[in-house]
Amino acid sequence: MIVAVIWSEVPGSALAGRLELTDGDATLWGRERSGDERTASFSCHDLIDVRIERFGPSRLGGRPTLILEHRSGRLFGISPIDSVGVLGELAERFSLQSKLLPA
């Protein structure tokens, strides 16, 4: 599954790009407003928390945002662009893949 997203590694600036989720692996690619490109990838098994933040400073692009907490301590915020209902679907997938939710 490939989704158009705004994402950031918290704390950090927002990037526009994509999230690719295949089997248990997630790859993020994006470009900042400055033009810098960045990628990040991790295995879903290494996530220790998956949640949606609807309010507050974690919102990316003024939208509810999926927050993924990696066991290394890294924190990712992901917010899908222009696709109604995808946020919930992503949250479910990450939870299942990370075994935080029983399948």
* Token pair belonging to 83: 């696709």
Longest dimension (CA), the chain: 41
SS3 category, 13: coil
Give dist(CA 77, CA 94) in Å, integer. 13
Instruction: Tell me if 3 contacts another protein by CB under 8 A.
Output: yes
Contact in structure between 71 and 47 (CB atoms under 8 Å): yes
Q: For tokens 């490939």, name the residue.
A: 2
Instruction: Tell me if 88 contacts another protein by CB under 8 A.
Output: no
Query: Which residue, 29 or 75, is less far from another protein as judged by CB?
Result: 29
Query: Which residue, 19 or 47, is less far from another protein as judged by CB?
Result: 19
Q: x/- contact string, 15-54, with another protein (CB under 8 A)? A: -xxx----------x-xxx-x-x----------------x
Least CB distance to another protein at residue 28 (A): 12
Task: Candidates 9, 27, 40, 59: give the one binding another protein (CB under 8 A).
Answer: 59
